[in-house]
Amino acid sequence: MKHPFWYGKLILEDLGSQFNLDELFESLRTPGRHMCLRVNLLKASPEEVMEELEEKGYKPYQPFKEVPEAVCVRVEGPFEIPRLERFVIADKYAAESVYVGANLYSPGVLKSEAEPGREVSILAERTLEPVAIGISKIGREVPERGIAVEVTLSKYKAPKFRELKAFEEGKVYPQSLPAMVAVRALEPEGLVVDLNAAPGGKSFHAYELLKGKGKVISFEVSKKRANKMRREMRRLGHEIELMVKDSRYADLDFPELVEKADRVIVDPPCTSIGVIPKVWDEKKDEDMLNSFKYQIQFVKVAYKLLKKGGLMLYSTCTLTKKENEEVLDFAQELGFEIVERDTPWGKAPVKVVPYVHQEPGFFISILKKP
């Protein structure tokens, strides 16, 4: 098998028992069929956002009537990217942005064999795959900040949502379709507690669906990520109570929340195998096993915070059974019951698979505390 994915033996066995690995790995290298925006229904209508997208030359569409806030635009590509004599090497994170059309910024440059004003190839670190070409703004010396290469052709071309007026005005939030469907499946109401909040997509969506008739309390352990989420909250105009705390102890730190939540969101760190596009990826077996041990701790707290009859959304952006189905087994042993929900990809609990659905890989499940 020829692919830039270095996964541990147990991970490969886990994925191999569910999927055609060649097709799966090939699909992880593509961004999926479209990129989507969630319209902030508290501030704008889908029609208004679609109008601006059309003015910018995009052809937006609403993929599912059940999720009217989802507005998507097709991704163009793949385009053939030549390897030119002059090149710069970009780190994985920067290479994956450039791959879908972003410019390359200096902090993402690992090595430069460029000359200012000349055409260069941008190569991904490690695999040295050409991900884009562009006009270099830098030479061999790399400045600390600023644009390093202005991209003229990238492997894929994604819509530039952040340049929209609607983005500046907090009327939209770029988000994957499966993530939106996950929060819809939770049917937010009353008190919603998010145990893994940043960058905030699911908390924000829940807040919007509550339409002022409930409350969102979000936990995020990383100060840096919480600060970024706060900036997004300001942009969107949302009032969410954000706790910069380790949510594994939420029941002890906030006893007043015990058995008070109507809904809990558990969207914990995972091996992120479903996040696309990837130029390459490496995950060790311990990563998956440690993720599982970490994930079940949030499920335990969710059980304590939920009222009887309350619902938990358990979702991940990964595809292993260990971090999805096996976490559900643990949840059921704890007392949770699986609630089936219709989704565009079948009944939840459901796994969205890139090569089957041309969407980012995602797991969606709803569980009830009886």
Ligand X SMILES: C[S@@+](CC[C@H](N)C(=O)[O-])C[C@H]1O[C@@H](n2cnc3c(N)ncnc32)[C@H](O)[C@@H]1O
User: Is residue 107 a contact partner of residue 120, using CB atoms and an 8 Å limit?
Assistant: no
- Told to check if 259 binds ligand X by CB under 6 A, we report no
Shortest Cβ 201–ligand X spacing (Å) = 3
Q: Which tokens in the block code for residue 270?
A: 């995972």
- Told to check if 227 binds ligand X by CB under 6 A, we report no
- Told to check if 248 binds ligand X by CB under 6 A, we report yes
Give the C-alpha separation, 55 to 236, whole Å.
Answer: 23
317 is catalytic: yes
Shortest Cβ 165–ligand X spacing (Å) = 23
Three-state helix/strand/coil letters over 293-359: HHHHHHHHHHHHHEEEEEEEEEEECCCCCCCCHHHHHHHHHHCCEEECEEECCEEECEEECHHHHCC
Residue from the set 247, 271, 318, 324 that interacts with ligand X by CB under 6 A? 247
The binding track of 319-348 with respect to ligand X, each residue x by CB under 6 A or -, is: ------------------------------
- Told to check if 222 binds ligand X by CB under 6 A, we report yes
- Told to check if 284 binds ligand X by CB under 6 A, we report no
The binding track of 141-180 with respect to ligand X, each residue x by CB under 6 A or -, is: --------------------------------------x-
The answer to whether the annotation marks 294 as part of a ligand binding site is: yes
Give the C-alpha separation, 39 to 45, whole Å.
Answer: 7
Amino acid at 263: R
Q: CA separation (Å) from 254 to 190, 202, 210, 245?
A: 18, 22, 23, 11
- Told to check if 354 binds ligand X by CB under 6 A, we report no
Give the C-alpha separation, 360 to 367, whole Å.
Answer: 22
- Told to check if 269 binds ligand X by CB under 6 A, we report yes
Instruction: Pick the stretch among 164-172, 196-204, 230-238, 275-283 that binds ligand X (CB under 6 A).
Output: 196-204
Residue from the set 219, 314, 345, 362 that interacts with ligand X by CB under 6 A? 219
User: Is residue 192 a contact partner of residue 261, using CB atoms and an 8 Å limit?
Assistant: yes
What's the length of the chain? 370
User: Is residue 122 a contact partner of residue 130, using CB atoms and an 8 Å limit?
Assistant: yes
Q: Which is nearer to ligand X, 74 or 245 (CB)?
A: 245
What three-state secondary structure class fits 249?
A: helix
Shortest Cβ 221–ligand X spacing (Å) = 4
Residue from the set 267, 281, 287, 359 that interacts with ligand X by CB under 6 A? 267
Instruction: Pick the stretch among 25-33, 94-102, 111-119, 246-254 that binds ligand X (CB under 6 A).
Output: 246-254
- Told to check if 198 binds ligand X by CB under 6 A, we report yes
Instruction: Pick the stretch among 115-123, 192-200, 299-307, 328-336 that binds ligand X (CB under 6 A).
Output: 192-200
Residue from the set 14, 69, 129, 220 that interacts with ligand X by CB under 6 A? 220
Instruction: Pick the stretch among 120-128, 200-208, 278-286, 354-362 that binds ligand X (CB under 6 A).
Output: 200-208
User: Is residue 189 a contact partner of residue 214, using CB atoms and an 8 Å limit?
Assistant: yes
Q: Which of 36, 72, 270, 317 is catalytic?
A: 317
Half-sphere exposure of 251 (CA within 13 A, CB side): 16
Give the C-alpha separation, 165 to 172, whole Å.
Answer: 10
Give the C-alpha separation, 309 to 146, whole Å.
Answer: 52
Residue from the set 38, 202, 321, 357 that interacts with ligand X by CB under 6 A? 202
Q: Which tokens in the block code for residue 253?
A: 């730190």
User: Is residue 241 a contact partner of residue 216, using CB atoms and an 8 Å limit?
Assistant: yes
Q: Which is nearer to ligand X, 194 or 262 (CB)?
A: 194
User: Is residue 136 a contact partner of residue 120, using CB atoms and an 8 Å limit?
Assistant: yes
- Residues labelled as active-site residues: 317
Residue ranges at the known binding site: 220, 225, 246, 267, 294
Task: Name the site residues for ligand X (rule: CB under 6 A).
Answer: 179, 196-202, 219-222, 225, 246-248, 267-269
